Amino acid sequence: MRTSPLKGLIRKGNSQGLNPQALKDKRKRDVEYMKGPYKAKKAENQRIGQRSDSDIHHRPDGSTVRVSTKANRGNFGKGTKTKS
């Protein structure tokens, strides 16, 4: 019987199966990312305020607009699948 290479790692917060040094490096990168530009975006979204009846749509120019959940998650009628 084969055992999973991830056995025992998931309980340690390491579901990706990283070695200890890689996990330490990843956590450091994650903290740096969260303290960078993402933090400002998160703060902006919290100021705008999420509601259950709509989503905050982020436009390519960086602005945001409140739209219906159906429109935002359906890609405004274009669907979410790409055609090959």
Question: pLDDT of the chain along its 84 residues, tens only?
Answer: 566 665 655 556 677 778 889 889 999 999 998 888 788 878 877 888 878 888 888 888 988 888 888 887 777 777 777 766
Return the bridge partners of 54, or none.
Answer: 51, 68
pLDDT on residue 19: 85
Q: Is 79 exposed, middle or buried (0-12, 13-18, 19+ CB in 10 A)?
A: exposed
Is 80 a member of any domain? no
Residue 54's domain comprises 19-73
How far is it, in rounded angstroms, from Cα 67 to Cα 50? 11
pLDDT on residue 52: 82
Is 46 a member of any domain? yes
What is the total count of domains within the chain? Answer: 1
How far is it, in rounded angstroms, from Cα 30 to Cα 58? 22
The model's pTM: 0.40
pLDDT on residue 11: 52
Is 14 a member of any domain? no
